[in-house]
Amino acid sequence: MGAIFRPYSPSDSLQSDRSSGDRQRHREKLREVLKGNIADVISEQSIIGRGPDSIVKVPIRGIKEYRFVYGQNQPRVAQGNGESEQGQKVGKAEGSGNPEDGQAGNMPGEDYYETDVSLEELVEIMFEDLELPDLESRPLRAIEAEYTHKRSGTKRVGIRAHLDKKKTAKSRIKRRFVKQKIENARSQGALAEDEEEETQRFPFNQKDFRYHRHKPDIRYESNAVVLCIMDTSGSMNVMKKYLARCFFFLLYQFVRLKYRQTELVFIAHDTVAKEVNEDDFFHKGESGGTMISSGYQKALDIIQDRFDPSLWNVYAFHCSDGDNFQEDIPKTMELAGKLCENCNLFGYGEIKPTGSIAWGTPMLEKYDDFKASNFATICITSKADVWPKFKAFLSREREKSTSVETDPLGWG
Amino acid sequence: MLRSYDVKDLEKWEALIYEKVEEYGLNCYPQEFEICDHVQMLGMMTYHGMPSHYPHWSFGKSFERTKTMYDYGVQGIPYEMVINSNPCIAGLMRDNSLCLQILTMAHVYGHNDFFKNNFTFSHTHADLIVARFKSHADRIRGYVEDPSIGEAAVEQILDAAHALSFQCRRNQAIKRRTPEQQINRAIEKEYENETTNPEKIREIERRFPVEPEENILLFIRDNNPRLSEWEKDLINIVHEEALYFQPQMETKIINEGWACYWHREIMNSLELPTDIHMEFLVRHNQVVRPIPGDLNPYNIGLNLWDRIEELEFGEARNHSADRQPDSVRDKMFEIREVDRDSSFIRRFMDRETMVKLDLFEAEVEHSDWVISKIADEKQWKTIRNLLVQSVGLGSIPVISIIDSDLEGARGLYLKHHYEGRELEAKYAEKTLEHVYRLWGRKVVLETKLKDNTTRYSFDDTGLSLTAEFSDESFPPYFIP
């Protein structure tokens, strides 16, 4: 008695992805995990300054299936290669390097999943549980984003391509009906003639033609520009720059999510300010002294040249370690005031890694007396700080926008 | 060296193999082979080979892990996937060479014979199992779709039940005593004492369970009145599946060894074309080679069977040239019927085999695994005993229910039967949480940490830990 063979059929294999539902559920669970430690993930160096389509490998601690198991590092039996001797080292113990993979099934170990997440998705997760502040609070500052046409009624003259066939046919039928009525009234009783007329052609006439009327359809869209101003002076060491970049990255991603057209301007300054491209901004280092006013002046110039505040939502953010030339401070304060007038929001972030030495008076103290409703300061001291501070920064903006702008349509 | 072949060729070779199977007297279920691609194979592996299985995210996780390992070439797909059912179902991966297919078919017949004849499998209902898994799957899908239950609730019970699924009785062949029998037995024992204490007898009657209960899931199912019917059903399903897979965990070494022994025997007796035969030698050696720093069940199992044959026959034979002598067959068939890994190793692992396998005992010394014992005259028995202890269900701690009315408030008291191996603390805590979820009232687990009796307890306020210090060297405030 032979065995039964079930031959391979490609159609079966198409339907045979039976684990897809369970994989989906597993991924959902991993996503929940990812949400839990998003702060760690986004402050990883490798993510910052990537394009939205790039794929990021994110390590996620696997979801464990707990059982009662014996602890690791208990004496165990294993095989050697034929010349084992007492006292010989045969591997690293658990928790100190590579885990022994031999007993993966029941030995608890850390397994990490490297999940491919596109940056887009990551940002989405990032802001998923965050109530977004209503940033689009200036509807007037919308500019024409799309200019198209849409049909609206008909007209009697036009080009052939716009001919409305249905309406044209209808108007011909109407005209014939009227004509018949008239003729019937004129020759009452002459029925024989009528019959003859039925069979006669009744051609389209110039009067029947109807053409589509087109109306311009303009959609307005609010536009935003983010001005990233960063201090790249010598006192901004690698760590500080990194923290600043982290913050800018979040800000950039966030604004990008809210507006379809987001312009970004990167300004790097030491004693003089330069507009740089994204890559240089996130990756290149500079050195020199610090004149914060130069950066602000540059920002103001750029706003004046390219981003009229009546058309653009302007966000400016400045990151620095707070060192500035004493002489420059009055000018800085003045320009900061001007920036506030021109921006929806102007923020200042001071990067102060714990343990770093401060030279002179930090700007943060100066800004204490600076009063403007659209001005915010934050202080970042460590990598773990970036995300919570960023959240706090946004929620501040949210409070403001919800308290000021209650939706009038909501009541009607 | 790929040979193109089709199902006709496979059928031809299978007929030749089956001839040998009958000639050697293997006693098999009818065999079915399914030819599949690697994704289907991964799917089969994920669901333990079952044609249908209930859904749970852990299978998604397992699929993902195997697929990643396969994609990155860390781990190949095993040549065979065979399930204990009647008819016996096995998968053949279509990308494999003809040689591998022949080898796999021969190997599968070895497993098939083992499933049908080994005593540990006798309670697994091989002829119903596929239908039973199907009905489990249908029921669970039904609960998931039921709007009054839903996926989240089902998942919670399944997560908890999975955590405890292997906390059940070790030897299904030993009959379980009913609660009445347990009480009578305990009272009889008490009366056998010189001084019978009526107080004690009353206490026995009050106690529940009278004897420590290892079937944690079943105990909870039967004694938590607050579980609804569907929850009980889920617990039941998980328990039944665990019971079905238990024998496979118990017989990993003996079963793989048996299948390797027979595929070698069958392959060597078939007149294989030279190229196929050469490939067979390579593949066979890959499968049964020792893995330094680990234990390869194929290697250990095959060596033990060879040793049994050698002792029975009187001398080692050349497996490729000489065929199996008839005289050893009965003895070997008997062993494959009555042994499981632990007894198999205890009975047949002698010092010679241990030296040949180069087995050693390793311990952790400062973050390194260091060989502490090798198979010399004095120590080989210790190594064997440790091996016996760690194979099969030996890797699962014995934990039983001692009391179900703790503090007079229906608290559940679990005790770990400590024999020198400590529980992994983090896992114990989290698993206890699962027990709490199923039991619904306070649960306590007693175990030992660093030789001190330690109690984890979990109730509505969360986890707490108490330790009793057995000796005075540790003052009570010296809690690690």
Q: What is the pLDDT of residues B250-260, one digit of tens each?
A: 999 999 999 99
Residue B370: list chain A partners with CB under 8 A: 87-90
HSE of A122, CA atoms in CB hemisphere, 13 A: 29
- How far is A124 from chain B, CA to nearest CA, in Å? 23
Same domain, A294 and A243: yes
Chain A contact present for B70, CB below 8 A: no
- Look at residue A344 and tell me if it is in a domain: yes
Same domain, B44 and B101: yes
Same domain, B258 and B283: yes
Lowest mean per-residue pLDDT among A134-138, A209-213, B104-108, B134-138: A134-138
Same domain, B403 and B387: no
Same domain, A252 and A209: no
With CB atoms and an 8 Å threshold, state whether B369 touches A79. no
Same domain, B299 and B381: no
Residue with the bigger pLDDT between B109 and A39: it is: B109
Helix, strand, coil percent content, chain B, rounded in steps of 5 = 55, 15, 30
Strand A211-231 vs strand A312-320: parallel, antiparallel, or unpaired? parallel
pLDDT band at B473 (very low <50, low <70, confident <90, very high): very low
Same domain, B431 and B445: yes
| Amino acid found at A247 | F
Q: How many structural domains does chain A have? A: 3
List B464's β-bridge partners, or say none.
B457
List A377's β-bridge partners, or say none.
A348
With CB atoms and an 8 Å threshold, state whether A84 touches B399. no
Largest pairwise CA distance in chain A:
129
Same domain, B373 and B385: yes
* pLDDT in the model for residue A339: 84
Q: How many structural domains does chain B have? A: 3
Same domain, A282 and A375: yes
Same domain, A278 and A375: yes
Domain that holds residue B386: 355-394
pLDDT tens for B398-420 read 999 999 988 888 999 999 999 88
Domain that holds residue A323: 221-405
* pLDDT in the model for residue B258: 96
User: Residues A112, A62: contact at Cβ < 8 Å?
Assistant: yes
With CB atoms and an 8 Å threshold, state whether B35 touches A8. yes
Same domain, B62 and B102: yes
Same domain, A192 and A319: no
Question: Which of B10, B57, B101 to probe the A interface (max A CBs under 10 A)?
Answer: B57
* pLDDT in the model for residue A18: 81
- H/E element, B92: strand B88-93
- Look at residue B74 and tell me if it is in a domain: yes
Same domain, A261 and A398: yes
Asked whether the CA dihedral B194, B200, B202, B205 is positive or negative, the reply is negative
Report whether pLDDT(A102) > 60.
no
Lowest mean per-residue pLDDT among A122-126, A330-334, B92-96, B383-387: A122-126
Report whether pLDDT(A45) > 60.
no
Same domain, A347 and A311: yes
Lowest mean per-residue pLDDT among A2-16, B17-31, B135-149, B377-391: A2-16
With CB atoms and an 8 Å threshold, state whether A25 touches B57. yes
Proportion of chain A above pLDDT 90, given as a percent: 6
Asked whether the CA dihedral A292, A294, A300, A306 is positive or negative, the reply is negative
**Length of chain B, in residues:** 480
CATH number at residue A316: 3.40.50.410
Distance separating alpha carbons of residues A53 and B11, to the nearest angstrom: 51
Q: Average per-residue pLDDT in chain B?
A: 88
Strand A142-155 vs strand B411-416: parallel, antiparallel, or unpaired? unpaired
Distance from the Cα of residue A116 to its chain's centroid = 18
Residues 6+ apart with CB under 8 A from A329: A363, A366
Same domain, A196 and A299: no
- Look at residue A182 and tell me if it is in a domain: yes
Q: Is the peptide bond before B30 cis (omega within 30 degrees of 0)?
A: no
The encoded tokens of residue A174 equal 């109407």
- Look at residue B344 and tell me if it is in a domain: yes
Same domain, A200 and A237: no
The DSSP annotation for B283-324 comes to HHHHHHS--TTS--HHHHHHHHHHHHHHHHHSS---TTTSPP
Using CB atoms within 10 A of its CB, is residue A257 exposed (0-12), middle (13-18) or buried (19+)? middle
pLDDT band at B318 (very low <50, low <70, confident <90, very high): confident
Asked whether the CA dihedral A75, A78, A82, A88 is positive or negative, the reply is negative
Task: Looking at mean pLDDT, say which of A69-73, B131-135, B475-479 comes out highest.
Answer: B131-135
- Look at residue A372 and tell me if it is in a domain: yes
C-alpha R_g of chain A: 35
Same domain, A161 and A252: no
* pLDDT in the model for residue A100: 38
- How far is A32 from chain B, CA to nearest CA, in Å? 13
Distance separating alpha carbons of residues B258 and B336, to the nearest angstrom: 8
Same domain, A260 and A364: yes
* pLDDT in the model for residue A95: 52
- Look at residue A95 and tell me if it is in a domain: no
Q: Is the peptide bond before B225 cis (omega within 30 degrees of 0)?
A: no
* pLDDT in the model for residue B156: 94
ipTM tops the 0.85 cut: yes
- Look at residue B156 and tell me if it is in a domain: no
* pLDDT in the model for residue A94: 61
Same domain, A233 and A267: yes
Distance separating alpha carbons of residues A76 and B213, to the nearest angstrom: 28
Same domain, B390 and B318: no
Same domain, B329 and B259: yes
Other C-beta atoms lying within 10 Å of the C-beta of residue A119: 18
* pLDDT in the model for residue A39: 63
Q: Which residue of A has its CA nearest to B56?
A: A22
Q: Average per-residue pLDDT in chain A?
A: 74
- Look at residue A365 and tell me if it is in a domain: yes
